[in-house]
Amino acid sequence: MTKKTLLQISAVGGAALLLSACASIYSNELEGEKAPDAAATTPPTNAATAPTADNGLPKPKTNPLPDPLPPMALAEAKEDFVKRTSAKFGIDPNSIRTVLNQATKLDSVIALMSKPAETSKTWAQYRPIFITDARISGGRKFIAENRADLEKVESVYGVPKEIIVAIMGVETGWGANMGKTNVVNALYTLGFFYPRSGDPTKADREARREAFFRNELMELFAMGKRERLDITTLQGSYAGAMGYGQFMPSSYMELAVDGDGDGRADLFRSKKDAFASIANYFVRRGGWVRGGTVTLKATKDAAAADLTPESLDPIYTVQQLADKGFRPMIPVTASAKANVFRLDGVSGPEYWYSFQNFYAITRYNISKHYGMAVYDLARELSK
């Protein structure tokens, strides 16, 4: 895909649309972790054929948190974990037991997970954190050094190289900071000692999140078996995300791809594997549409009420949004599916259309700010 292509996004209905100028945003949506995976399935083993979206447009599959686990004493819970992991993945129970018994509860992880959410930033405050001269120049250099491999992945999956590189830049600085927390210890801590706030309104979600992280620890054992990795040596984020693209273990199991043809998906050392896996994530998890529109700035009628959608799913037609008082600044086919969201920019409120590909970016991190930061960085990298 050429530099011009990222700026000229095909409109639904065939016409080429020149994307409008710089964006701006924020809301109180979850930030930090990717949407949790309900279960892992066997991933594609090579990048020869691009997969299709799981459920079609406009809604890719969702990933609810698992049910809470029954109360158990720690020793009983650990033994239950050993038995279930061994049965599910065919792993020697003694090897699981050994790793689990050597795992350490990390108070630093508990503290980070217990930390109150930061005050929401406006887009005007958020954007400069991610869109910097250093990140732009670093991203352009990274593209130049890996152009052939990136363009090969782009041709297979339809995800622009600039989007892939923007994700890697925001997540890990192109591998410079993949995290320094022992992943086994992080997932053991959150899977068996997830912090409780004492707030009854949060109790169910906290119990479900503990179950989620315990499942992720199970998936880590499976990942170690499949990819021939010593999981006790792996390092990542305090939440257990790993590699160039910061995949959780279940995402690794489901979506990691062998992009270099060596028979394994190594997101720690192989950039080719990372490129293909991130693109696969966008297509499989986000329903990325090759050549599709990402986002467009909109006008709002003075009398129109603000829309407060629960998600960025493109569930409305452009005509429906227009009837509600929100019109794209560049004409779009009336039957095209989109949503609309508000951004608090430097000059005040802005309104933007969210198409399927913007939704896809926010499946990587459920935040409008994150989606716009990745998109804006990609646009800068395309220049």
The pair of structure tokens assigned to 275 is 């490129």
**Contact predicate 293/61, CB 8 Å:** no
Instruction: Spell out the alpha helix ranges (H) of the chain.
Output: 3-7, 74-89, 93-102, 107-114, 123-130, 133-145, 147-157, 161-172, 183-192, 203-227, 249-255, 271-286, 318-323, 356-364, 368-381
For every residue of 195-223, DSSP letters joined together read: -----GGGHHHHHHHHHHHHHHHHHHHHH
Token output for 245: 């693209």
Contacting residues for 275 by C-beta, under 8 A, at least 6 apart? 146, 149, 150, 153, 164, 259
Count other Cβ atoms within 10 Å, centred on residue 354: 27
Nearest to 187 by CA among 234, 227, 229: 234
- Residue 207: phi and psi, rounded to 5, are -65, -40
Q: Which of 218, 227, 217 is nearest to 258 (CA)?
A: 227
* Residue 162 falls in the annotated catalytic set: no
Which of 162, 171, 227, 350 is labelled catalytic? 171
172: three-class secondary structure by DSSP: helix
Q: Tell me the catalytic residues.
A: 171
